Amino acid sequence: MEHRQARPMFSPGKSVIAQYGYPYLTVYRPDLHQALADRVRALKADAIHLDSPVAGCVQDENAATLQLRDGRRIVGDALIGCDGVRSVVRNTLWGKTDPEFTGMVAWRGLIPMEQLPEHMRASVGSTDRAARARGQLSAAPRQVHELRGHHRRQDWDAPGAMAPGTVEECLADFAGWHEDVQAMIRCSPTLLKWALFARDPIPRWTQGRITLLGDAAHATLPFLAQGAVHSIEDGTVLARCLQDVAAGAIPGALIRYEKARIERTSAMVRGATANTALFHSPELATEASAEPYLQKEWSAAPIRDRYHWLYAYDANTVAV
């Protein structure tokens, strides 16, 4: 493949700040987790319990009870099921529904910056979608270089959603890509592959004193870059609905939270699914067809038109 100088298709810079009040930001997930955990522990030192898988939940008019696999029972005024795409709380409320494999696998790796070739150590992010219609790859450098790649394949047979991968297997999935891509793969000390699972949005989240949040409520594919945002918005709106609410009024507050969030999160899930086709279009298969396709779908005007509804939302002010 002929190498051409990379150039930005769209830069969400000053115009985004002027329109929405904030720049477009990405955050390294472990840093975000640590900041959230630090704040929770500052409020309540023993609030976080690790190695505590959920077995089920029950409720009555006065309380909700979380049942853990180790036999513990935790009672509270409300139960928020945010236990992920395979949520036990969700299955308890609405019946067992397994997510479906989408035929896509995500490769992920962390590379110490000093192990990369000199020209790849700059602190910039990049995305290569034009090289192949069957996959996409992006990189987000910091003290380590984060490798993320998505590839279409139908042969997922691991027992869970994640499995270790090999350099040889990853190189085979991205055969023919630019040498910088091959270098990132070869320099990765470890590589993990994640099967991408999906399920359709559900029409209700709440029963009595129990509701859902995050992937438990609206698991999504990564092609809208809003997975963590879903959950942060959920948490913000939920906190507003529960503020100064008496214990007896909690079921009503949870219904208000659901009504405030379910239409938006369903649109986000469907938007991510729709982007799967945009990111893996056959028009990306060759350089000749990719250039006009990227101008048509991924330059400033179509991105602004397609995603204004997404970025104009404010969880702090939306009606509850």
Between 224 and 3, the more confident residue is: 224
Among 125, 144, 127, CA closest to 135: 127
Mean pLDDT of 9-23: 78
Q: How many residues does the chain have?
A: 320
Q: pTM for the complete prediction? A: 0.87
Q: pLDDT tens-digit profile of 250-274?
A: 999 999 999 999 999 999 999 999 9
CB atoms within 10 A of CB 244: 6
Listed ranges 117-131, 141-155, 216-230, 258-272; the one with the highest mean pLDDT: 258-272
Q: How confident is the model at residue 243 (pLDDT cuts 50, 70, 90)?
A: very high
Residue range 136-150: mean pLDDT, rounded: 64
DSSP code of residue 47: -
Residue 246 confidence class, pLDDT cut points 50, 70, 90? very high
- The full set of domain ranges for the chain reads 102-198
Residue-averaged pLDDT of the chain: 87
8 pLDDT band, cuts 50/70/90, is low
Listing from the earlier edge strand, what are the strands of the sheet with 126-128?
A: 126-128, 135-141, 144-152, 100-112, 191-198, 162-165
If pLDDT is split at 50, 70 and 90, which confidence band does 131 have? very low
Q: Residue 181 corresponds to which tokens in the numbers above?
A: 């891509």
Q: Which fold would CATH assign to domain 102-198?
A: D-Amino Acid Oxidase; Chain A, domain 2 (3.30.9)
The DSSP element (H or E) to which 269 belongs, if any, is: helix 250-279
- DSSP for residue 61: S
pLDDT at residue 233, rounded to an integer: 98
The mean pLDDT value for 141-168 works out to 80
pLDDT category at 129 given cuts 50, 70, 90 is: very low
The pLDDT tens digits for 283-299 are: 988 889 988 998 899 88
Tell me the CA distances in angstroms from 53 to 29, 73, 83, 89, 98, one per residue in order. Answer: 22, 12, 9, 11, 18
- For residue 128, how many other CB atoms are within 10 A of its CB? 18
User: What are the pLDDT digits (tens) for 171-190?
Assistant: 998 988 889 889 999 999 99
